[in-house]
Structure 1
Amino acid sequence: MFYEDCCSVHPGRFYIYPQSLPQYLPIFPPPVVPHSSPSLPCTMAMAKFALMLTIVLLAVLMVESNPKVIVGEATQTEGQYHLDRAGGYGQGSLNFYQCAPQCSRRCSQTQYKKPCLFFCNKCCAKCLCVPPGFYGNKGVCPCYNNWKTKRGGPKCP
């Protein structure tokens, strides 16, 4: 009798229906439904935003990687070092993309390869020239030769 008044058996579930609540209450909670994934327009908008952000960043990096040309600081001695076609050396005789192979050549016989390459690339980016040979010959490129550290030592290898 009590069982008939408070509980009812349904296939696979037990329900309690007390007299104070008019609705059936399951003893076992219903299964949890996972949240649906974002709608397609939202993911497309995020993908477009990510693509545009990537393109903008690449454009900024390309602009920043080009060497800066400073107008108005040319001296009279600068003209004699540009594009030394006879020997292929001298200030301004290289393009910025030629610095890495020339510095690899210059630093190939040193035991301190990493610092040599670091400073050689830095000097080449500024002077656009790397002296011939593995050591010395800095007189060919005065910018390379005259760039000094804070202590007065040579900065370029």
Structure 2
Amino acid sequence: MAVRKFLLLLLLGVFVFLCLSQVSSNGYEEEGMKEMEYDEKMMRGANRRLMQYIDCGGQCRRRCGAHSRPNRCIRACGTCCRRCRCVPPGTSGNREMCGTCYTSMTTHGNRTKCP
């Protein structure tokens, strides 16, 4: 048992060492990496500004307030809200107000996903 643990730790150590040596040999200098990280942060910030902010939790609790299975409804609504950035008004219906993203999403059983 102890031998297996030792071999597993040794194998893990070798794997980590190889991964770290691969990263350091990519040819990126320290400054180049900093510039790449800065560019990625700027792009993520721009994408956030372009996407409309919506309080998915609050909107879904409102939407699923009268549902017979509210937890299940809130979970599905949250997924749809994060993907489509929209929750229809009211407690039922009005799905077309969120566009094709919200209305076309289906489950594995080919039933509508979004409440």
Q: TM-score range by the shorter chain?
A: 0.5 to 0.7
Which ranges in structure 1 are unaligned for 5 or more consecutive residues?
A: 1-65, 70-91
Going by fraction, where is strand more abundant, 1 or 2?
A: 1
* AA aligned opposite 2:93: G
Residue matched to 1:40: none
Residue matched to 1:95: 53
**Which is greater in Rg?**
1
* AA aligned opposite 1:153: R
Residue matched to 2:106: 148
Q: Does 2:77 correspond to 1:120? A: yes
Tell me, in whole angstroms, the C-alpha distance in 1 between the residues paired with 2:74 and 2:107: 16
* AA aligned opposite 1:136: G
Q: CA deviation at 1:149?
A: 1.3
Q: Show CA shifts across 1:79-104 (max 9, x none).
A: xxxxxxxxxxxxx6x525x1110001
TM-score normalized by structure 2?
0.53
Residue matched to 1:81: none
* AA aligned opposite 2:81: C
Q: CA deviation at 1:151?
A: 2.2
Q: Does 2:100 correspond to 1:137? A: no
Q: Which has the higher contact order (CA 8 A, sep 6+)?
A: 2
Q: Percent identity?
A: 38
Q: Show CA shifts across 1:15-48 (max 9, x none).
A: xxxxxxxxxxxxxxxxxxxxxxxxxxxxxxxxxx
TM-score normalized by structure 1?
0.39
How many residues are treated as equivalent by the alignment? 67
Q: Show CA shifts across 1:47-96 (max 9, x none).
A: xxxxxxxxxxxxxxxxxxx9xx5xxxxxxxxxxxxxxxxxxxxxx6x525
Tell me, in whole angstroms, the C-alpha distance in 1 between the residues paired with 2:95 and 2:113: 12
* AA aligned opposite 2:94: N
* AA aligned opposite 2:58: P
Tell me, in whole angstroms, the C-alpha distance in 2 between the residues paired with 1:145 and 1:130: 11
- CA-based RMSD of the aligned residues comes to 2.1
